[in-house]
Amino acid sequence: MKFLFALVLALLSFVGFGQYNLQLNQVVLVSNTLQTVPAGKVWKVESYMQAGIAAPDMIEVGGSCAYSDRHHPMIVNGQTYFLINGSPGHGSSGTFLAASNILPMWLPAGATLRTACAKDVLSVIEFNLVP
């Protein structure tokens, strides 16, 4: 009987600290206008589509978007991130890149997101947090 009581008490304690359920709300396309994850929501960044990329080894660190054949970053909470698939390389500037910045990426409420260039777009799924 004590074992059963302890088991029920343990299960109830886990229920008391339960997590939210995710409910699909909408799909959001994010470009170079800063957007913030609303309260009570989470975002799952699914993909990053860059207009006109051709050279997989070059980056554009200045964010001027003048070169369509260079990797453009996405900006999360003011921090620049390059999505690089494959081995580390370097651009003409000699800047070395870290591999393995791979999507999806989850962002909590209050996080900010944008692309560096107007023609680039991030595909985001927004979920409601349901208790």
pLDDT at 54: 53
Domain spans of the chain, in order of start: 20-130
Per-residue pLDDT averaged across 103-125, rounded? 94
Task: Fold for 20-130, please state it.
Answer: Jelly Rolls (2.60.120)
67/105: higher pLDDT? 105
Per DSSP, the residues of 74-128 read: EEETTEEE----SS--B-TT--B--S---S-EEE-TT-EEEESSTT-EEEEEEEE
Local confidence band at 61 (pLDDT 50, 70, 90 cut-offs)? low
20/93: higher pLDDT? 20
Q: Decide if 27 contacts 103 (C-beta within 8 A).
A: no
65/53: higher pLDDT? 65
pTM over 0.85: no
pLDDT at 12: 56
For the purposes of burial, counting CB atoms within 10 Å of the CB of 68, is it exposed (0-12), middle (13-18) or buried (19 or more)? middle
Per-residue pLDDT averaged across 4-19, rounded? 60
Question: Helix (H, G, I), strand (E, B), or coil: what is residue 22?
Answer: strand
Local confidence band at 46 (pLDDT 50, 70, 90 cut-offs)? very high
Per-residue pLDDT averaged across 55-84, rounded? 71
